[in-house]
Amino acid sequence: MPRYILFHKPYGVLSQFTDREGRPTLAQYIPVPDVYPAGRLDMDSEGLLLLTDDPRVLHRVTDPRWKVPKTYLVQVEGIPSEEALQRLREGIMLKGRRTAPAEVELLPVPPPVPPRPVRQYHPTPWLRIVLREGRKRQVRRMTAAVGHPTLRLIRVAIGPLVLGDLSPGEWRDLSSAEYRALFQALHLDPDEPPPLRRRRRAQRRRRPSRR
């Protein structure tokens, strides 16, 4: 049977299982063979990763054509104006291509997330940003483009799956309800068996991280 795993990736960990430079990787946390992350987080980003050995899920979560929403809590430098927030919502030009429309709101109070020191600026508010695409370091590049560099980034949801009370470094298998909610969001039949798996160990080689 395929495995579907939720993992709270800590800050400073690569979203891959090997690294030639000896940096921390998923292998130090997840002792499950042949699962791979459905999408990535930068080494300096934190939060929810979905790992699986089901190729259908890997494809649909990462392919922007399926528009699976990913939700981020983003601590930025300085308080964005309504104009800056609207620019983020409507899309930012990055390398000649506009980002897709996003959901963006300024949170009235800081979210209840595990503390981690960031550079000392005042003020450092939090945004909630929902994207339906996954360009390289997209959130950081978007906030920088409107004059509010990202200081801390935490992914808290992938479609219907939420980070919840997982602590940094913890992982667990999806519940039956989460499994069905994920398959519904991906327009897959939860009762249909997955295709025969091929071993994909080559994917555990070092790859560029994202966001």
- The answer to the question of residue 11 being in a domain is yes
Q: Are residues 163 and 152 in the same domain?
A: no
- The answer to the question of residue 210 being in a domain is no
Q: Are residues 196 and 126 in the same domain?
A: no
pLDDT value of residue 131:
97
Range of the domain at 78: 70-157
Q: Are residues 125 and 197 in the same domain?
A: no
Q: Are residues 135 and 180 in the same domain?
A: no
Q: Are residues 152 and 85 in the same domain?
A: yes
- The answer to the question of residue 181 being in a domain is yes
HSE value, Cβ hemisphere, 13 Å, CA-based, for 102: 28
Per-residue pLDDT band for 210 (boundaries 50, 70, 90) equals: low
Active site residue 34: no
What is the pTM assigned to this prediction? 0.90
- The answer to the question of residue 209 being in a domain is no
pLDDT value of residue 84:
98
pLDDT tops 50 at residue 133: yes
pLDDT digit string (tens) for 84-116? 999 999 999 999 999 999 999 999 999 999 888
> What is the tally of structural domains in the chain?
2
Q: Are residues 113 and 10 in the same domain?
A: no
Task: Identify the active-site residue in 19, 42, 189, 191.
Answer: 42
pLDDT digit string (tens) for 141-194? 999 999 999 999 999 999 999 999 999 999 999 999 999 999 999 999 998 887
Q: Are residues 61 and 124 in the same domain?
A: no
Q: Are residues 83 and 147 in the same domain?
A: yes
Q: Are residues 94 and 147 in the same domain?
A: yes
